[in-house]
Chain A
């Protein structure tokens, strides 16, 4: 079962801080763009899996992997990398299960990015016990 610990790993705050410094006023524009476009890409991968289109699964996953790693969404990047391999191998069964986890991760990442941009540090009570608690 997927654990909430993945939530903790979604955002690389250090990477985002670096981006903020590097991009200056453009930081918010770039992040908003990611939120509007990139974080919906897992749904495109899911559709490609449903269409049994291995090439599209691999291509969409590859693209998402690169973008996620660029903005510090390392965990999502790793999941996309795994999906890329599954797509290349035409393994739709495993890909279907993984893409659902990726979609859930993208929803959380979206919320996290919004809070990060607004300077809000969300309370995370589920990290109290060593930062690792299973989903209900």
Chain B
């Protein structure tokens, strides 16, 4: 089982994901912005990050860039429902170009999340998973 960091400024989504992933046997950490997430990465083992894109202080794209630069072994799955003119598709495509290995649209199916988490953890590199 893996160490997964869930990053979302919305506590409800965090709780949902933390509960779901914990139920699946993973050790789950949580942060409400990119900055706190980086602090977790510096102090605890993290195999995978699931991050929202639009967050205060440090957004998901900046977090992705920082993780890719400093901790390339950590895989990142981006999650978003879009915001204003930015559809979730556009947002998540941007996340992929910044190094996310996979993307998840909000609202999501729990089964989809678990499947993508498994695939991300099994993938051997930090390249995007092909069928996204």
A residues at B contact (CB < 8 Å): 18-19, 22-26, 29-30, 33-34, 37-38, 58, 62-63, 65-67, 69-70, 84, 88
The A-B contact count (CB < 8 A) is: 55
Q: How many angstroms between the C-alpha atoms of A80 and B20 in the bound complex?
A: 25
Most buried by B among A18, A26, A66, A67: A66
Interface secondary structure of A, over-half rule: helix
Q: Which residues of A contact B109 (CB under 8 A)?
A: 18
Residues of B contacting A33 in the complex (Cβ-Cβ under 8 angstroms) = 11-12, 15
Q: How far is the CA of A84 from the CA of B111 in the complex (A)?
A: 29
Q: In the complex, A69 Cα to B81 Cα: how many Å? A: 10
Residues in chain B near residue A65, CB distance under 8 A: 81
Which A residues are in CB contact (< 8 Å) with B84? 58, 62, 84, 88
Nearest chain-B residue to A66 (Cβ)? Answer: B81
Asked whether B13 lies within 8 Å of A67 as measured between CB atoms, the reply is yes
Q: Is B27 an interface residue (CB 8 A)?
A: no
In the complex, per-residue mask of B1-26: 1 if CB is within 8 Å of any chain A CB, else 0: 00000000011110110011011000
Asked if A66 and B10 make an inter-chain contact with CB atoms under 8 angstroms apart, the answer reads: yes
- Contact indicator B19/A30 (Cβ below 8 Å): yes
Is B110 within 8 A of A66, CB to CB?
no
Instruction: List residues of B whose CB falls within 8 A of some A CB.
Output: 10-13, 15-16, 19-20, 22-23, 81, 83-84, 106-111
What residues of A have a CB within 8 angstroms of the CB of B110 in the complex? 18-19, 22-23
Evaluate contact between B108 and A70: CB separation under 8 angstroms. Answer: yes
Which residue in chain A gives the minimum CB-CB distance to B9?
Answer: A63
Bound Cα distance from A67 to B84, whole angstroms: 16
Residues of chain B lying within 8 A (CB to CB) of residue A63: 10
Residues of chain B within 8 A of A67, CB atoms compared: 10, 12-13
Q: Chain A contacts of B106 at CB under 8 A?
A: 66, 69-70
Other A-B pairs, 7, CB within 8 Å; known A23-B23, A26-B20: A19-B110, A26-B22, A62-B84, A69-B106, A70-B13, A70-B108, A88-B84
Known contacts being A22-B111, A70-B107, is A37 close to B11, with CB within 8 Å?
A: yes
Q: Complex Cα distance A29/B114, Å?
A: 20
Q: How far is the CA of A23 from the CA of B81 in the complex (A)?
A: 21
Q: Once the chains bind, are B19 and A26 in contact (CB under 8 Å)?
A: yes
